[in-house]
Homo-oligomer: A and B are copies of this chain.
């Protein structure tokens, strides 16, 4: 029942084409916008303190991504986040590289304190660093930890009172009580810059049309992973450049039925 609901969400996204307001990093902004357009959402990128409150207000969801944060951008994120909160717009937060530098950790904590975040998406290292667990992070990549990732996700969700999506080989999505594990996708995603950031923005597109954020994040994860698998099938040999383009194509092609048939979900 829940799986049917999850897999059907892409149809709702395409019907309503929600506006997703992204305050994201300069590395991935083009790829994120193209990915959202391709799957059927309406991306908006707006960063100025003077306008982010107005833009967040009219959006279906707000993405805060600190991949290339600056002090000005952080101020804009706080302003946008508060406006989203006041207008019941869900906020999806991607703490890129939290733990890699003290500044990223501090900023992430500040955002979590001042803004009511609905869904937090990151790799295991980033999430661990945010809740004070010891986890080695290598640059902005996931690194390797010894902890139990499911326990880490539950702990973070409970402590921060939000839905956590730890993505990687397995995507673990939890509100602290219920845990959904999705195992789709392909390792080549780690060779495309912004694959994680786009994932966050796809979750936002789903959260814009589904207020059960556990379901929204899980639905986005299944859709994203199945899309990667479909892209791989269309390529003779998976290579980073051609995969990147094929993945954009596949985002426009993957149907609710595809997701239903191929999603590998454990609840």
Q: A202 to B138, alpha carbons, bound, how many Å?
A: 19
Q: Which parts of A89-129 form the interface with B (CB within 8 Å)?
A: 97, 100-104
Q: Nearest chain B CB to A202's CB is how many angstroms away? A: 15
Q: A55-B100, A245-B244 are in contact. Are A68 and B45 (CB under 8 A)?
A: yes
Contacts of A47 in B (CB 8 A): 68, 70
Q: Does A161 contact B (CB under 8 A)?
A: no
Complex interface bits, A44-76 against B, C-beta within 8 A gives 1, otherwise 0? 111111110011001100000001111110000
Q: Nearest chain B CB to A224's CB is how many angstroms away? A: 15
Q: A69 to B46, alpha carbons, bound, how many Å?
A: 8
Complex interface bits, A21-64 against B, C-beta within 8 A gives 1, otherwise 0? 00001111111011001100011111111110011001100000
Q: Does A147 contact B (CB under 8 A)?
A: no
Q: Does A192 contact B (CB under 8 A)?
A: yes
Q: A105 to B45, alpha carbons, bound, how many Å?
A: 16
Contacts of A192 in B (CB 8 A): 34, 37
* Chain B, Cβ-Cβ closest to A100: B55
Q: Which parts of A171-202 form the interface with B (CB within 8 Å)?
A: 190-194
Q: Nearest chain B CB to A13's CB is how many angstroms away? A: 15
Contacts of A132 in B (CB 8 A): none
Q: Nearest chain B CB to A197's CB is how many angstroms away? A: 11
> Is the pair A193, B33 in contact by a Cβ cutoff of 8 Å?
yes
Binding site for B on A (CB under 8 A): 19, 25-31, 33-34, 37-38, 42-51, 54-55, 58-59, 67-72, 97, 100-104, 138-141, 190-194, 239-242, 244-249, 251-253
6 A-B contact pairs sorted by A residue (CB < 8 Å): A26-B26, A30-B193, A34-B240, A43-B139, A241-B249, A244-B248
